[in-house]
Structure formats: structure tokens, C-alpha cells
Amino acid sequence: MRVTKKSGYGLVAMAELAQHCDSSFVSTKRIANKYELPQPFLEKIMRELKDAGLVEVKRGRGGGYELSEEPAKISIKAIISVLEDGSLAPVDCLLPEAEPCPLKDNCPTLAMWKIVYDKLLFLLQSLTLADLLEHLDKDFSEDGEFP
């Protein structure tokens, strides 16, 4: 699985909403300006998150987006799944719509990729926006640990 700009920007926007979940709606303009993101692309991303029920929108003055639930109830997997059309597989052969692989019945790496995929799904499901907020100011380069 490769995290695309779409998922990366979506996670940035959701983290920003999580930081303001008790105070106000946040506009895409504000998020785009703060993180130097392309606003039209961010608006498209936010519409997809809204259609998936992860955010709510308020139109007009003082409007913008807010989380539909508290940060601890929104998993990173839920966000990425929406923005990547459900595709979190690290290799194409694990996708339901994948072309048949010539090594399908004799692949020496398929079992390993299935393990990687299962662990990735478990990890992304177990991490939430609340976890992301908890670690915003920490440097992970030293120990490589997140939660």
C-alpha cells in the first residue's frame, strides 16, 4: 500500500478537524492555507469524507467541516479506505478485481504478503485520530514507535 497525496492530505485535514473538534467548524481554505495544500483538491477530498459520513459540513458564514464523531471513534483505516476506494493491499494480487496472476497457485511470496496485509489492516484499524493528536508534537525518528 502506498499512501497517495489524496490520503495524506485527507489525514492532515482530519487531524486539523480533530484539533478543533470541541470548538468550531474549520474551512478548507483555513486548512489549505495552514498546510499549503491545493484548496480545490482538498475540497474534493472533504466531499468524499462527507459522503462517507466521517465529517459534517456547515454552509455559509462560520461554516466549514467538523468530525462526525469524536476523534477516538474514527480510525485511520476508515479515512484511508474512503480516500483509496477501499484499496489498502500492498500488492495487486490481493485485490478482488486484480488480473489473475500467473503465479497464483505457486507464488513463493503470497503468504508473506497476506500476513503484511492483515497486520497493516489491524494496525490502521487500531489507530485513531485521537492517537494521532496524542503524538502530534513527538519525534518518531529515534525509536520508530507510534503509540
Q: Does 120 fall in a domain?
A: yes
pLDDT in tens, 83-103: 987 678 888 888 777 787 788
In the predicted structure, residue 140 carries a pLDDT above the cut 60? no
Residue at 139 is within a domain: no
- Considering the domain boundaries, does residue 110 fall inside one? yes
Q: Tell me the pLDDT band of 145, cut-offs 50, 70 and 90.
A: low
Residue 32 counted as domain residue: yes
Note whether residue 14 is domain-resident.
Answer: yes
Question: Domain limits at 40?
Answer: 5-134
* pLDDT per position as a tens digit, 10-42: 999 999 999 988 878 999 999 999 999 999 999
Specify the amino acid at residue 121.
Answer: L
Q: To 5 degrees, how large is the angle CA 38–CA 39–CA 44?
A: 105
Cα 114 from chain centroid (whole Å): 21
Predicted confidence at residue 33, as pLDDT, reads 95
Give residue for cell 490502521. Answer: 124
Query: What pLDDT does 47 receive?
Result: 96
Residue 145 is assigned to a structural domain of this protein: no
| pTM for the whole structure | 0.84
60: domain CATH number is 1.10.10.10
Domain tally, the chain: 1
Has residue 69 been placed in a domain? Answer: yes
Compute how many other C-beta atoms are within 10 angstroms of the C-beta atom of residue 110.
16
